[in-house]
Amino acid sequence: MKLKLIVSFIIGVALSMAVLADTIKLKANHPDTYTVKKGDTLWGISSVFLNSPWLWPHLWENNSQIENPDLIYPGDILNLIWVDGEPRLTRKRLKKLSPIPRLQEKTQAIPIIPLEMLSAFLSKDHIIDPVLLEGTPRLLGDSVGSPRFFEGDIFYAEGQYDQNKLYGIYRLGKDYKGPAGKNLGTELIFIGQSQVSQSPNVDSTDKVTPHDLIKSSREARQGDLILAIPEYETIPAYFIPKPVPKSTKGNILAAVNNSAAIGKWDIVVIDKGKQDDIQIGSMFSILRSGQALLVNDEEILYKEDSNAFDQLGDADLRLPAERVGELMVFKVYENLSIAILMRGNDVIGSTYKIEGLAF
């Protein structure tokens, strides 16, 4: 059930993009036909044909022979044709079980991106807003005074809990700071999962509840936070990519894997969230800042190559920023969002600037 929800969540990107009003630009070396392979993604295939992969559905031509013509499957043959001067893709779906080939609907369409890239982030939190930290229940300890807890242990947590829910155990990590130094949110390090204890030997009170530690990736400790595990059902069934005004400027604050350089499918935290009208599906361009220059009658220098004294002053000129990739938001908090890097033209720094992608 959860996998099906994730699949529908991702494939909704393709269903919704037909409303876009951008211009289709085919790659100069695009093929005329393409056979869909196992492991392909919609985004990857669209990159074979298009300079702007998010405009993939513009290429589709409705095919009355097949239900759900906007879903494609391994073995499908895509053919590029022209209709009224516009490029379109048609699709053949063949089943060679008899002398007469028959069109056939298969059971699992390919996703827009690899599902494993998102599943871990949909099933647990990774950031907590500053206002939520106050009053968040914590792991208290156990009856024998243990400071650390492992899978199979019973511990007590502050407050009361729903017996039918799973809970995540988290530890606070680094703070994500805005340009002015304001704390926009704090990293949550996932420790494990717990549920209200099923043991007949322990009881709850109005202030504490015993938990069974049912799964852990590392030891839990006193003071760790206890939060309800997000359910897949809370994610919209259709993940609709949304344009963002180019005037919306922001920053990549960090890569989730703490890498200094990021690439395609890497996950990052950006300093835009609900308060900036960011939604699931919001898309951003990634910008590499232009070089700062020192210009005079005698020479032109990059500021970073000048002497220490000149580096203290302002640059005479800064070259324009260049677009080097795109991000798509898939999880939104009050001040921050988590996004996936959909495309990168070069090595991208984990603290590059971003701006809204209008289409």
Residue 239, pLDDT > 90, answer no
Spell out the domains of the chain, with CATH numbers in brackets.
2-114 (no CATH), 124-229 (no CATH), 249-356 (2.40.10)
pLDDT of residue 237: 39
Q: Is the pLDDT of residue 276 over 70?
A: yes
Interval 175-207: pLDDT, tens: 999 878 899 999 999 999 999 999 999 999 999
Over residues 121-162, the pLDDT tens digits come to 766 778 998 888 888 999 999 999 999 999 999 999 999 999
Within the chain, how many helices (H) and strands (E) appear?
5, 23
Please say if the pLDDT value at position 15 is more than 50.
no
Choose between 177 and 56: higher pLDDT: 177
State mean pLDDT over 88-107.
57
Alpha carbon distance 345, 311 (integer Å) = 30
142 compared with 46, residue with greater pLDDT: 142
Query: Is the pLDDT assigned to residue 3 strictly greater than 50?
Result: no
Task: Tell me: pLDDT of 41 over 90.
Answer: no
Residues 204, 157: Cα–Cα separation, whole Å: 10
Q: What is the pLDDT of residue 53?
A: 80
pLDDT at 135: 87
Closest listed residue to residue 13, CA positions, set 326, 332, 338, 282:
282
Given this model, what pLDDT does residue 279 score? Answer: 94
Task: DSSP letter for 162, please.
Answer: -
Average pLDDT over residues 97-107: 48
Residue 90 has a pLDDT of 80
Residues 6 or more apart from 210 whose CB is under 8 A from it?
Answer: 154, 155, 156, 157, 196, 197, 199, 202, 203, 204
Q: Is the pLDDT of residue 94 over 60?
A: no
Q: What is the pLDDT of residue 147?
A: 95
Structure confidence by residue, pLDDT tens digits, 294-330:
999 889 999 999 998 888 899 999 999 999 999 999 8
Angle (CA) 195 198 203, round 5°: 95
Kindly tell me the burial class for residue 96, based on how many C-beta atoms sit within 10 Å of its own C-beta (0-12, 13-18, 19 or more). exposed
pLDDT reported for residue 103: 46
